[in-house]
């Protein structure tokens, strides 16, 4: 028997380290021989901490939302050959995994990411061995071409084409680079892969390096991912000790080694030329292309850059065949895609589905729908560079072409779900505030234009919007898109343009009626107490941080609007629904 504790960042944040420590201490106290091991995030972040108990027959029982108290009950039950039934995952939640097709995430939440033997037992490093011993460089690239794998970092560029360009580039020194600088708010796919299955990234990079003739690799990972960095460092050392990294791999003439570069967290460094500048010790700023990195990249040498998810698919493709990967998806988008479900969703976490599924399939079929039974309003796809897909387009097919038609993009895979309480003007302001701050400043239109747009949006949400503001936003947005050098500026206006496109009425309400229909913009709302519903319980007054509410016990209370700071404490504390937001 053994216990496996989910220790991705989400699990640890929910208390997995404490649960693990108590489990080990309790097992030691009882003199039991039950090893406690580690795994990464299986994707059901909303159920963390998750603990699997695997008995001597290999049967696995999954326990959810485990605490330092319930883990003892689980251990006691296991020792008696029983199960702590009330903590076991239910059929509905368990079915979430059955609704997915996991390729990039195939080992996440299954194997111990700190033990290379578990990856090897799952067929790890067999794909690179097959490539080195039985395939030429061109044959490897052809298999990737057959698969239809496109870059999962956002652009969706054919992977085989980039590899071919790097392979055919002149020069003997070539670099294989992984972009793990995942900067989109609400996106954590790459982090989860590195934390849960770092060896699949290493093997994917090995295969790419072999195909391109590269002997040197770098993983550029944001410093805000300390656990991912630690596990990747450990995995690189283990791979090196096993001979999978280093000189003459599998007794061949192919040599390749890997190192990590921790980035400072600049969103613009997700752009490949800005990433290269950062790797070279320069300020992360994009440059004109051509020349492309495949011709002149890191230190002016031919370089290839793919993101974590792209590389994570590669070992599976070489092991199972490109045609099997190609059989999934749509005509222009093959395979699967990992999405991070966040926001007003019941079952937030990571999901991996075949391309071609509908947006609604993910939100309702996998994510369980909207919290508190509220109405679905929109989903922001593609992060700050993407756009809002409104409720009326919930049947949109998830592929590159269909999402682009809505004004959104696939992006790296963030899906921020919004309900009826979300103000779309304020949401656009939030994302533009992010891109404005993250602009490197190289392009005037991006540096100044996004600031002007942010000022207009802020003014609108503060009740100071003017006639012509919507048209001015559209004009600025189009100029920024057409005049910026890199993808950050070219896509920064997308959240604004899509919210204007689908929710123009909200902009007009803010500007002309001085009203926020979602009741979120503080300058445009006020609080008052319904005299018919108020029973004088005094809860609202007791919870008001500025003493803006007065009234005697069992008498109607009143809010002084000159004092009220609109914090909403009165709304959440009232059990009689007596406080109204106007």
Residue showing tokens 């913009």: 521
Q: What number of residues does the chain have? A: 582
CB 119 within 8 A of CB 96: no
Residue showing tokens 């992360």: 284
Asked if residue 136 has pLDDT above 90, the reply is: yes
CATH number corresponding to 336-419:
3.10.20.600
For residue 412, which of 325, 357, 350, 370 has the smallest C-alpha distance?
350
Strands (E), 395-485: 414-419
Collapsed DSSP state (helix, strand, coil) of residue 473: helix
Task: Quote the CA–CA distance of 210 and 342 in Å, as a whole number.
Answer: 37
Task: Quote the CA–CA distance of 534 and 537 in Å, as a whole number.
Answer: 8
Four-point Cα dihedral 228, 233, 238, 239, nearest 10 = 90
Residue 170: other Cβ atoms inside 10 A: 6
Q: Which helix H or strand E contains 506, and what residues bound it?
A: helix 494-508
Q: What is the pLDDT of residue 423?
A: 97
Q: What is the pLDDT of residue 250?
A: 97
Q: What is the pLDDT of residue 156?
A: 83
Q: Match domain 116-326 to its CATH number in 3.50.50.60, 3.40.190.10, 3.40.50.11540, 3.40.630.30.
A: 3.40.50.11540
For residue 195, which of 39, 408, 319 has the smallest C-alpha distance?
39
372: left (phi over 0), alpha (psi -120 to 50) or beta: left
Collapsed DSSP state (helix, strand, coil) of residue 259: strand
In the chain, what percentage of residues exceed pLDDT 70? 100
Four-point Cα dihedral 272, 216, 314, 112, nearest 10 = -110
- What is the tens place of the pLDDT at every residue in 545-565? 999 999 999 999 999 999 999
**Of the listed ranges 170-179, 342-351, 404-413, 439-448, the one predicted with least confidence:** 404-413
Asked if residue 155 has pLDDT above 90, the reply is: no
Task: Quote the CA–CA distance of 523 and 436 in Å, as a whole number.
Answer: 23
Q: What is the pLDDT of residue 184?
A: 84
Q: What is the pLDDT of residue 383?
A: 86
Asked if residue 540 has pLDDT above 80, the reply is: yes
Q: What is the pLDDT of residue 20?
A: 97
- What is the tens place of the pLDDT at every residue in 375-415? 999 999 988 989 999 999 999 999 999 999 999 988 888 89
Asked if residue 303 has pLDDT above 90, the reply is: yes
In the chain, what percentage of residues exceed pLDDT 90? 94
Residue 143: other Cβ atoms inside 10 A: 22
Alpha helices, DSSP H, located in 265-423:
272-279, 308-320, 322-326, 359-360, 400-406
Burial of residue 115, with CB atoms counted within 10 A of its CB: 0-12 exposed, 13-18 middle, 19 or more buried: middle
Q: What is the pLDDT of residue 73?
A: 96
Task: Quote the CA–CA distance of 181 and 177 in Å, as a whole number.
Answer: 11
Domain limits, the chain: 2-94, 116-326, 336-419, 424-513, 526-581
Task: Quote the CA–CA distance of 562 and 544 in Å, as a whole number.
Answer: 14
CATH number corresponding to 2-94:
3.40.30.10
Q: Bridge-partner residues for 389, per DSSP?
A: 379
Q: What is the pLDDT of residue 153?
A: 80
Give mean pLDDT, residues 326-351. Answer: 95
Q: What is the pLDDT of residue 430?
A: 96
Asked if residue 282 has pLDDT above 80, the reply is: yes
Q: Bridge-partner residues for 415, per DSSP?
A: 341, 381
**Of the listed ranges 132-136, 372-376, 410-414, 484-488, the one predicted with least confidence:** 410-414
Structure tokens at 255: 């040599």
- CA contacts within 13 A on the Cβ side of 101: 16
526-581 is a CATH 3.30.70.20 domain: yes
Measuring CA to CA, how many Å separate 262 from each of 246, 259, 352, 437? 21, 10, 27, 21
Task: Quote the CA–CA distance of 342 and 304 in Å, as a whole number.
Answer: 31
Burial of residue 208, with CB atoms counted within 10 A of its CB: 0-12 exposed, 13-18 middle, 19 or more buried: buried
Q: What is the pLDDT of residue 466?
A: 96
For residue 498, which of 342, 340, 384 has the smallest C-alpha distance?
384
Asked if residue 183 has pLDDT above 90, the reply is: no
Q: What is the pLDDT of residue 185?
A: 83
Give mean pLDDT, residues 168-172. Answer: 93
Give mean pLDDT, residues 32-56. Answer: 96
pTM for the predicted model, two decimal places: 0.94
Fold adopted by 424-513: de novo design (two linked rop proteins) (1.20.1440)
Q: What is the pLDDT of residue 154?
A: 73
150: DSSP letter: B
Residue 307: other Cβ atoms inside 10 A: 26
For residue 303, which of 343, 336, 276 has the smallest C-alpha distance?
276
Strands (E), 264-410: 303-307, 336-343, 349-354, 376-381, 387-390
Please give the radius of gyration of the chain, using alpha carbons only, rounded to the nearest integer: 26
């Amino acid at each position: 028997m053994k216990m496996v504790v989910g220790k991705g960042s989400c699990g640890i944040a929910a208390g997995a380290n404490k649960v693990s420590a108590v489990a080990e201490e309790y097992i030691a106290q009882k003199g039991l021989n039950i090893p406690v091991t580690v795994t990464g995030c299986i994707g059901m972040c909303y159920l963390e901490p998750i603990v699997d108990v695997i008995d001597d027959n290999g049967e696995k029982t999954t326990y959810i939302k485990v605490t330092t108290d319930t883990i003892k009950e689980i251990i006691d039950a296991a020792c008696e050959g029983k199960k702590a039934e009330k903590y076991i995952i239910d059929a509905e939640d368990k079915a979430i995994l059955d609704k997915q097709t996991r390729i990039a995430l195939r080992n996440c939440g299954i194997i111990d990411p700190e033990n290379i033997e578990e990856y090897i037992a799952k067929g790890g490093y067999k794909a690179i061995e097959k490539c080195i011993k039985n395939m030429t460089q061109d044959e490897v690239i052809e298999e990737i071409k057959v698969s239809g794998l496109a870059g999962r970092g956002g652009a969706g560029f054919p992977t085989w084409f980039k590899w071919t360009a790097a392979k055919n580039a002149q020069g003997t020194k070539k670099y294989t680079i992984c972009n793990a600088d995942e900067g989109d708010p609400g996106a954590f796919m790459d982090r989860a892969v590195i934390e849960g299955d770092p060896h699949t990234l290493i093997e994917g990079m090995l295969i790419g390096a072999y195909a391109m003739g590269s002997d040197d690799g770098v993983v550029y990972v944001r410093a805000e991912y300390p656990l991912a960095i630690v596990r990747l460092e450990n995995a690189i050392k283990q791979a090196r000790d096993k001979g999978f990294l280093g000189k003459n791999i599998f007794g061949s003439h192919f040599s390749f080694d890997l190192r990590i570069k921790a980035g400072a967290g600049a969103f613009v460094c997700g752009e490949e030329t800005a990433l290269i500048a950062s790797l070279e010790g320069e300020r992360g700023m994009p440059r004109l292309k051509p020349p492309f990195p495949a011709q002149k990249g890191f230190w002016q040498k031919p370089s290839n850059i793919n993101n974590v998810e792209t590389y994570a698919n590669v070992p599976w493709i070489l092991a199972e065949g490109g045609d099997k990967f190609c059989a999934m998806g749509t005509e222009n988008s093959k395979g699967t895609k990992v999405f991070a479900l966040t926001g007003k969703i019941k079952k937030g976490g990571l999901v991996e589905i075949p391309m071609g599924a509908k947006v609604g399939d993910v939100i309702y079929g996998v994510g369980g729908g909207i919290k508190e039974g509220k109405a679905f309003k929109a989903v922001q796809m593609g992060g700050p560079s993407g756009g809002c897909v409104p409720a009326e387009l919930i049947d949109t097919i998830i592929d590159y072409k269909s999402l682009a038609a809505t004004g959104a993009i696939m992006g790296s895979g963030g899906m921020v779900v919004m309900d009826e309480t979300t103000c779309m003007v304020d949401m656009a302001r939030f994302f533009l505030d992010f891109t404005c701050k993250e602009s490197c400043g190289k392009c005037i239109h991006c540096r100044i234009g996004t600031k002007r747009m942010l000022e207009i949006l802020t003014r609108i949400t503060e009740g100071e919007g003017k006639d012509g503001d919507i048209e001015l936003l559209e004009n600025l947005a189009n100029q920024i898109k057409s005049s910026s050098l890199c993808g950050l500026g070219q896509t920064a206006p997308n959240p604004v343009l899509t919210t204007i496109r689908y929710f123009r009425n909200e902009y007009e309400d803010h500007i002309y009626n001085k009203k926020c229909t979602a009741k979120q913009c503080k300058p445009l709302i006020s609080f008052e107490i319904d005299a018919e519903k108020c029973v004088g319980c005094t809860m609202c007054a007791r919870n008001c941080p500025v003493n803006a509410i007065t009234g005697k016990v069992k008498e109607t209370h009143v809010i002084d609007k000159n004092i009220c700071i609109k914090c909403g404490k009165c709304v959440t504390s009232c059990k009689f629904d007596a406080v109204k937001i106007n």
